[in-house]
Amino acid sequence: MIIAPSLLAADFTRLGKEAERAERAGADWLHLDIMDGQFVPNISFGPDVVAAVRPHAKKLFFDVHLMCGKPEILLEPFAKAGADQIIIHVELHQQVTPLIWKIKSLGKKVGLAINPPTSIAEVQPYLDKIDLLLVMTVNPGFGGQSFIHECLPKIQQADAWRREKKLNYRLEVDGGINNATVAECARAGADTFVAGTALFRQHNMGAAVKKMRKIAHDNDPGLADLKL
């Protein structure tokens, strides 16, 4: 089970220190939401910020989520800035395949994200080409939103396809993830959890990460099957 604090919920006046705090807390990944004000109605940060944060969390896997209308111009800058994985959106349609191959050519892992209104069937053609599928559980653009429970069947379907096709992509969820919703998502088959306010806003982030990971682990349906 991967726990990935989202830097979008951090204190923007001290991003380097916040990244250090996530690493000390025992997080596995650091999730970085990149918004361009066009694909989503918000602007976050660019490759220079990611490059500045990278030395403060050398052990963390940088999970860079591009919510951008023209990701093709951003892939190389974010790869150079320290991204380990770059996530693009299935809603980019015909751009998806060339973007996947470009990310691979840069030596980075490939993630594919899907928004709540989009049919899960849209991701099917790409499942054997990606390292991670991100099921958004809020409409992207702003942190602190409430979890959309209607997204749970998408997670279940994505997990079923993974098992049927014997594929190895990680199944990530992002949006409204807390100790209650992480359990629901783990039961549905998710194994990678992005949480912003539920982690960065805690005084003891280490305890929060540990508790969230335990809840996810305890609700892993695979482990439940083994116990039977």
Alpha-carbon distance 218 to 187, whole Å? 9
Residue among 33, 63, 159, 191 flagged as catalytic: 33
33 belongs to the catalytic site: yes
Whether 32 contacts 67, CB under 8 Å: no
| Cα 177 off chain centre by | 11
Alpha-carbon distance 7 to 152, whole Å? 24
Whether 151 contacts 135, CB under 8 Å: yes
Residue among 28, 63, 159, 174 flagged as catalytic: 174
84 belongs to the catalytic site: no
Alpha-carbon distance 108 to 10, whole Å? 25
Catalogue the active-site residues: 33, 174
